[in-house]
Amino acid sequence: MRVVVAYGVVRLVGAVAGLLLTAAAPVAGQTATGSKVLLQGAGATFPAPLYQKWIGVFTAQNPDVAVEYKEVGSGEGVQRFLAHTVDFGASDAAMTDEQMARVANGARLVPATAGMVVLAYNVPGAPGLKLSRQVYPDIFLRKIVKWNDPRIQAINPNLTLPDRSIVIAARQDRSGTTFALANHLGAVSPAWQQGPGVGYAVDWSGRAMLARGNEGVAGLVKSSVGAIGYMEYGFAERLRLPMASLQNKSGKYIEPNGRSGQAALSSSVGKMPDNLRLYLPDPEGDDSYPIVSLTWLLLYERYQDQQKSAALKRFVTWGLSSGQSYGADLGYIALPADFASRSRAALERIQ
């Protein structure tokens, strides 16, 4: 079964209510009125609710800046950044060295926040579902296709699981959320590593319902009895979708929540490399939720428009400091002080 769900483009232009674009094209870096510096970004849906919040609060406090962010997925965000059609990109998979070398005016990766990839499901009468690190990879590999499979039932002896087919809900677009899930599955399952592998996209070959964006996958799970899908925690939380407790590297079954996400991120403090490309495919720690990902802003090292450069640095600096406080209510994990400090240091190199 193949279902495609369209997703909208979120366009938030800060500050003055009633601001309208006229027929005349605006000067680069400014709105049509010439009174604001306009920053245009595009990319990941994973952190989009937080970025929307940042834009609303920051532009209200800084009426000389307007910010637009289009939720197009990490893969498309990287492509637009490489094509220089945006002022900043956003991705849940850090750019590779090869990609960064293609940027003539230089590129910087700036970790902005972190979040959990959860497995949300729609199985009536099955609250508190647990899935082991042997079972959930085999669900996505289609080696387990029924909810009452003996391997699932053995982990959940107190649940009466239905004789119903498991329907996978997955991303159609090139997605950093897919990358984070696949990177984890590759770390815990040799069969996954040798099969679908790791990347922005997975060849589901008719094995899944497909949707665009985290919100699209969440919507499919919400409307499809028997479904299981992967998405950022906040999207599942907002739709009140049940989320499976997953077995971590220590063998413990861990619910996704702020504490378990923070524990996973904290386990990697001190391990951030100089290029800020840190992945957490299978975090250590008894209390760590097992699927956690940083998400990056993609910035140019040199901007021709110095007003735009200065405004962008103000916006991102604010997001790395005051902006972190808005993450918890939306389901994100604030950067540890060490990570945030390194991100701000990278930002200082922007010209």
Residues 249 and 306 reside in one and the same domain: no
Residue 205: predicted pLDDT: 83
Which residue range forms the structural domain that includes residue 167? Answer: 117-266
Residues 214 and 307 placed together within one structural domain of the fold = no
Q: Tokens for 93?
A: 């998979």
DSSP state of 40: E
At position 160, the amino acid (one-letter code) is T
Same structural domain, 85 and 138: no
Asked if residue 220 and residue 85 are part of one domain, the reply reads no
272 assigned to some structural domain: no
Q: Pick the last residue of a domain from 246, 266, 286.
A: 266
162, part of any domain:
yes
Same domain, 63 and 106: yes
Q: 245 with 136, same domain?
A: yes
Does residue 186 sit in the same domain as residue 203?
A: yes
Q: Which two tokens stand for residue 98?
A: 């090869």
Residue with tokens 């919507």: 219
With tokens 């998405």, the residue in question is: 231
**Long-range contacts formed by 30-38: CB under 8 A, 24+ apart:** 31/66, 35/64, 36/63, 36/64, 36/65, 36/66, 37/64, 37/65, 37/66, 37/307, 37/308, 37/311, 38/13, 38/66, 38/67, 38/68
**Domain limit, last residue, from 266, 282, 307:** 266
Check if the beta carbon of residue 113 is closer than 8 Å to that of residue 47.
yes
The answer to whether position 76 is within a domain reads: yes
Same domain, 231 and 184: yes
Residue ranges for the chain with pLDDT beneath 50: 1-33
pTM: 0.86
Query: What's the rounded Cα separation, in Å, for the pair 151 and 19?
Result: 58
Tell whether 67 and 191 lie within a shared domain: no
Using alpha carbons only, what angle is made at residue 207 by residues 206 and 213, rounded to the nearest 5 degrees?
A: 90
Domain CATH for 261:
3.40.190.10
Residues in the chain: 351
In-domain check, residue 1: no
Question: Would 277 be classed as within a structural domain?
Answer: no
Q: Letter for the amino acid at 47?
A: P
Closest CA to 175 of 3, 49, 293, 10: 293
Domain tally for the chain?
A: 2
Residue finishing a domain among 247, 266, 285: 266
Instruction: Let me know whether 69 and 190 are in one domain.
Output: no
Residues 122, 109 share a domain: no
- The answer to whether position 189 is within a domain reads yes
Q: Cα(13)–Cα(342) distance, rounded to whole angstroms?
A: 29
CA 177 to chain CA mean position, Å: 5
Q: Are 231 and 177 in contact (CB under 8 A)?
A: yes
In a domain? residue 7? no
CA gap 269, 257 in Å, rounded: 19
Asked if the structure places residue 184 within a domain, the reply is yes
DSSP annotation of 223 reads H
Domain identity same for 212 and 178: yes
Please give the Cα distance from 128 to 21 (Å, whole number).
Answer: 50
pLDDT digit string, tens, across residues 123-155: 999 999 999 999 999 999 999 999 999 999 999
